[in-house]
Amino acid sequence: MSSKSDVLFSGGSGGAVYSYLFVWFGTLCTLVTLSELVSMAPTSGGQYHWVAILSPRWCHKFLSFITGWLIILGWLGGLASGAYLASSQILGFVAIAHASFEPQPYQIMLLFWAYVAFAVFINLGAGTLLPKFEGFALVLHIVGFFVILVPLSCLGDHVSAKEVFGSFNNEGAWPGLGLSIFVGMLGSTFAFTGCDAAIHMTEEVRNASVTVPQSIMMSVGLNGLLGFGMLLATLFCLRDVDHVLKSSTGYPFVQIFLDVTGSIPASIAMASIMPISGVATASGNLAAASRMVWSFSRDRGIPKWKHIGKVDSRAIPFYSITAIAVAALMLSLLILWSGAILDAVVSLTVSALFSSYLMATGLLLYHRLTRGIQSHEDGSFIVNTTGAPLTWGPFHIPRKWGIATNTITLLAT
């Protein structure tokens, strides 16, 4: 919902609903696949480690190296895109309150820096600061859901179900409606990006082979359900697509809030939940990205690995956190040149993350089809390393369902 007008411009209300369900299902299959892998080999390296143990010996180092860099670029793009989106939203709210205000690129960049700086503060704080802050963010996430849902449900002048589920749009003049919906699907895809962050924190979690898959499944289930409920509530309040697409705010959902409440302060208060939640998103993205960089440095996959792979006396990867933060700040300089260029770079880097899923899933499916992975015996230790016999972890999907899930993941990514 917090993304821009892509989904309404290319797809309309019906396209938004069906593309969301499609992406949710595809993400669920992807995370089931990743949960199987993290259950087999819980490591902060995630995909690049799994590619190493699943690939043939003659190419496992090369494929693992490529995958590692794809993950780093993907998480860097995730951090940058979240900070950029939240910063743009804040200035959009100011423009609503003050019609004469025109956001400047440098203002977006400075807010971007503020988001990254706060994320660094949370990640470099005392060892318990990050989990406590994330716990607070979960409460805010759920409370914010109802803060927005209740006004939309009670105050809005609602349209019919037929208009929501049967109304489509192709303002981009794409060759067909199906292609238009797929183009608009990018917004829903972006919303589910980062659901696998827990994978890169596994070495700081007890009984990770069981706990991490459970947390991932709960996350995609809860967030997918809340997101779908919010999407429906918003679309039932959407009476004029052209009106919200031409909104001066740049964000259709803000214009919908304004139409529902009839109050600028109330609509800004409702919409502010998104950039506030963006603080937690930035902190989580930085945590996952820094652990990935730290793990890759440990395996000598990046320059200056001896320094970047160090941890301080509190076991916090200080240099990895700093490296990712500096890279994000450098990326933000593109805002001064053109926000569209930053959008393109971020889209490219986020697609790199999905490419890493593709490589790991393809190799897992191959071993599944050739029965190259042994069943796990209760009470035995699981040691999945390069060259060792592969063993399923505690989280494992039966063969036929597993093949179907892996195949859907390949198609979805």
Residue 154: both structure tokens together = 């009670």
**Window from 1-15, 59-73, 281-295 with minimum mean pLDDT:** 1-15
- State residue 386's pLDDT score: 65
Average pLDDT over residues 120-140: 82
Residue 76, CA distances (Å) to 126, 131, 189, 215, 360 in order: 24, 21, 17, 23, 20
Q: Does the pLDDT at position 32 exceed 90?
A: yes
Angle at which helices 318-332 and 273-298 cross, to 10° = 120
* Residue carrying the six token digits 């015996």: 377
Please list, in sequence order, all residues whose beta carbon lies within 8 angstroms of the beta carbon of residue 400, skipping any fewer than 6 positions away: none
Residue 233: both structure tokens together = 């509530």
According to DSSP, the residues that pair with 374 across neighbouring strands are 391
**How many Cα neighbours within 13 Å face the side chain of 410?**
14
**Window from 279-293, 318-332, 338-352 with minimum mean pLDDT:** 338-352
- State residue 311's pLDDT score: 85
Cα distance between residue 115 and residue 137, in whole Å = 15
Ordered by start, the domain boundaries in the chain are: 6-412
Q: Does the pLDDT at position 50 exceed 90?
A: yes
Strands 373-374 and 390-391: parallel
Going by pLDDT thresholds of 50, 70 and 90, the confidence category of residue 127 is low
- State residue 61's pLDDT score: 92
Q: Does the pLDDT at position 384 exceed 70?
A: no
The CATH class given to the 6-412 domain equals: mainly alpha
Average pLDDT over residues 329-344: 83
- Average pLDDT over the chain reads 87
Of 256 and 170, the structure prediction assigns the larger pLDDT to 256
DSSP 192-231: HTTTTGGGGGGGGSTTHHHHHHHHHHHHHHHHHHHHHHHH
Amino acid letter for position 296: F
Q: Does the pLDDT at position 175 exceed 90?
A: no
- State residue 141's pLDDT score: 86
pLDDT tens-digit readout, 229-287: 999 999 999 888 888 887 776 778 888 898 899 888 999 999 999 999 889 899 999 99
Count of CB atoms within 10 A of residue 8's CB? 23
Among residues 227, 225, 316, 288, which one has the least CA distance to residue 38? 288
Return the percentage of the chain with pLDDT > 90, whole number: 44
Among residues 381, 389, 376, 409, which one has the least CA distance to residue 53? 389
Q: Does the pLDDT at position 33 exceed 90?
A: yes
- State residue 329's pLDDT score: 94
User: Where in 107-224 does DSSP place strands (E)?
Assistant: 169-170
Residues, the chain: 413
Amino acid letter for position 12: G
Q: Which helix (H) or strand (E) holds 11?
A: strand 10-11
- State residue 67's pLDDT score: 96
Going by pLDDT thresholds of 50, 70 and 90, the confidence category of residue 25 is very high
pLDDT tens-digit readout, 304-316: 888 888 888 788 8
Q: Which helix (H) or strand (E) holds 412?
A: helix 399-412
